[in-house]
Amino acid sequence: MQFSGVIVVVTGASQGIGKEIALQFAREGAHVCALARNQIDLDGLVEKIKATGGHASAHAVDVTKAVSIRATINEIGQRYAHIDILVHAVGGFKRLLPVTEITEIEWDEVLNVNLKSVFLCTQAVVPWMKIRPSGRIILLGSIAGVSPNPHAKSYLPYGAAKAGVLGYTKHLAKELGGFGITVNAVSPGTTATERVMQIRSENDLQQLAAANPLNHRIEPSDSAAAVLFLASPQAKGITGVNLNVNAGSVML
């Protein structure tokens, strides 16, 4: 119960890695404010957490819309008088297109979801973290932001956006260090979430696992564990880093 009474905002909490992060925080005693667009999925998560004695609330919001995300974060901040931890797990892509087939609309959509949302969510949450002399921001990067995956197809706008997230992490870490707020990234390798299984076949995932040094199929729980460590008091001296959770596929 190392996060007992701690207020944690998790974006992208309705499925995949974000959902697993929300569940792990709730198991450790945190109050989880779960954000995503789909109210029904969020309600299901909150019900699941409450059924096991945990604490959670659902907040349906589009994190690419400045006015909406600010209103949601302010509502949470006012309700609890501060926010301790932000985990921003929204991100991803739906297609794998070559550079010549990427439209301007597609480029903007991928950049908005994966990079602009990072700016909007952190900007909204920082005033509520500064109320106490501590705070944790953890952004979900990707192996794609570090390097093209040597064993799988990469997606250009996604790689560019996630490289931006890793740069943003360092700059924000420097800016917020004086307030006792740490800012770090966790970068998963290809992880067997429902969304990924729609883009890549079971065979692709098996080949990826066989190609990494640990011969490990990366699960949402692997990244969630890394997030909880960076959010813990033990990580108080760590800021501006990117923690790769890719079973050694890329070691940069």
Ligand X SMILES: NC(=O)c1ccc[n+]([C@@H]2O[C@H](COP(=O)([O-])OP(=O)(O)OC[C@H]3O[C@@H](n4cnc5c(N)ncnc54)[C@H](OP(=O)(O)O)[C@@H]3O)[C@@H](O)[C@H]2O)c1
**For binding to ligand X (CB under 6 A), which residues are involved?**
12-18, 36-38, 41, 62-64, 89-92, 113, 140, 142-143, 188, 190-191, 193-196
For ligand X, the closer CB: 170 or 195: 195
For ligand X, the closer CB: 64 or 239: 64
Query: Which entry of 80, 155, 158, 168 is annotated as an active-site residue?
Result: 155
Q: How far is the CB of 237 from ligand X (least distance, A)?
A: 25
CA dist 249 and 102 (Å) reads 27
Q: How far is the CB of 134 from ligand X (least distance, A)?
A: 24
Buried b (16+ CB within 10 A) or exposed e, 70-95: bebbeebbeeeeebbbbbbbbbbbee
Among the listed residues 139, 15, 128, the one whose alpha carbon sits nearest the alpha carbon of residue 77 = 128
CA dist 44 and 131 (Å) reads 31
For ligand X, the closer CB: 212 or 236: 212
CA dist 133 and 173 (Å) reads 14
Q: How far is the CB of 214 from ligand X (least distance, A)?
A: 16
Query: Which amino acid is located at 52 in the chain?
Result: T
Which residues contact residue 125 at a Cβ distance below 8 angstroms, ignoring those fewer than 6 apart?
A: 9, 73, 77, 83, 86, 137
Q: How far is the CB of 232 from ligand X (least distance, A)?
A: 20
Active-site residue 155, yes or no? Answer: yes
For ligand X, the closer CB: 167 or 177: 167
CA dist 215 and 76 (Å) reads 41
Read off the tokens for 14. 């309705």
Active site residues: 155
